[in-house]
Amino acid sequence: MSVRVGFTQFRKEMLEQELANIEAMLPTLGVEKVILTGDLVSGRYSPDSRIDLIIVQNTEYTYGRRADFFSWHFNSAVAVDAQVYTPEEFETCQETLPALRHAIQRGRVIYDA
C-alpha cells in the first residue's frame, strides 16, 4: 500500500502534538513514571503509528481496566496504547517479561515524579 507524499510528516506532527497534550496532563493524573516507546522513539512512522506508553501508577484497578482511565482522560485524536503497571509490578515484571525490559531500555522517560 502506497502512502501519499507528505502523509508521514503529517502523521508525525499529529502524534507529536497529541503527545505534548498528554505530557501536559501527566502531573494531574497521579502517575509516578511514564515511558514513551514505539514509533515516536524509533522515528519510523506509518499510517498506523500510535502513541505507545508504559505507565507506572499506584492503582487498585485490575490490569485489564487500568488503561481505560487514561483513554478517558487523554481523549486523543490518535490511538494511544497504554500499558499500566503498579510500582511493584513494574519492578518485578522488568525481570520476568523480556518485551517490557526491551521497551524500557529503548524507550524514553517523559515523566518521572
pLDDT tens for residues 16-61? 999 999 999 999 999 999 999 999 999 998 888 999 999 999 999 9
Structural domain contains residue 91: yes
What's the CATH code of the domain at 32? 3.30.460.10
Range of the domain at 83: 7-112
Other C-beta atoms closer than 10 Å to the C-beta of 63 total 12
> Alpha-carbon distance 82 to 96, whole Å?
19
Most confident of 3-7, 34-38, 62-66: 34-38
> Do residues 36 and 51 lie in contact, with contact meaning Cβ atoms separated by under 8 Å?
yes
pTM of the model: 0.90
Domain count, the chain: 1
